[in-house]
């Protein structure tokens, strides 16, 4: 059974598709699966934002096959680790969790890089392309740490 990791943001078109693609590229596919979802429903079935696709491409990753979906309650059972991009996503997902086991699966992603600082991955949706580069660099850095931890823990 592979270890399953879910990346969550608001729209599932900017940050979490990048987080999914970046982490998946750092983990062996036979042992880990990575997916992403949004807390909101606006972009169900949509491809990632063009700017996310472009920044991924620039860094050698293809994420254009991904399709937006909304987080659902069964994800708490389906996934072993749920990484959320910001504090608002954290509140929304924790609010949906019905058991302490579900709650313990939810982690604010940048706390893996800056423990207990509760730093957000900023939402680049309304900003410039520069925002997407910034988000990419942050996610790439934290994904290295997460991948290393997961590989150590599950090998
Ligand atoms: P994301 O960015 O949460 O990183 O995917 C957003 C994308 C779309 C919207 C909000 C945030 N929206 O309101 O449509």
pTM above the 0.85 mark? yes
Show me where the domains of the chain are located.
3-153
Position 21 scores a pLDDT of: 98
Alpha carbon distance 109, 70 (integer Å): 19
Cβ of 84 closer than 6 Å to ligand 1, yes or no, is no
Span 112-122, pLDDT tens digits: 999 999 999 99
Q: Active-site residue 15, yes or no?
A: yes
Alpha carbon distance 148, 155 (integer Å): 11
The CATH homologous superfamily for domain 3-153 is Response regulator (3.40.50.2300)
Which H or E element spans position 108?
A: strand 106-108
| 10 CA from centroid of ligand 1 (Å) | 5
Which H or E element spans position 95?
A: helix 87-96
Span 106-151, pLDDT tens digits: 999 999 999 999 999 999 999 877 899 999 999 999 999 999 999 9
Cβ of 10 closer than 6 Å to ligand 1, yes or no, is yes
What residue owns the CA closest to ligand 1's atom 10?
11
């Amino acid at each position: 059974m592979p270890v399953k990791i879910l990346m969550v943001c608001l729209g599932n078109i900017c940050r979490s598709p990048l987080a999914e693609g970046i982490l998946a590229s750092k983990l062996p596919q036979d042992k880990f699966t990575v997916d992403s979802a949004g807390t909101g429903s606006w972009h169900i079935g949509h491809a990632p934002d063009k700017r996310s696709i472009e920044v991924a491409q620039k860094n050698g990753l293809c994420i254009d096959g991904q399709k937006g979906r909304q987080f659902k309650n069964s994800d708490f059972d389906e996934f072993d680790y749920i990484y959320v991009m910001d504090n608002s996503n954290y509140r929304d997902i924790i609010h949906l969790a019905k058991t302490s086991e579900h709650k313990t699966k939810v982690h604010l992603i940048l706390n893996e890089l800056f423990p207990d600082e509760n730093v957000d991955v900023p939402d680049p949706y309304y900003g410039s392309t520069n925002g997407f580069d910034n988000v990419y660099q942050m996610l790439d850095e934290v994904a290295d740490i997460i991948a290393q931890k997961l590989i150590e823990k599950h090998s």
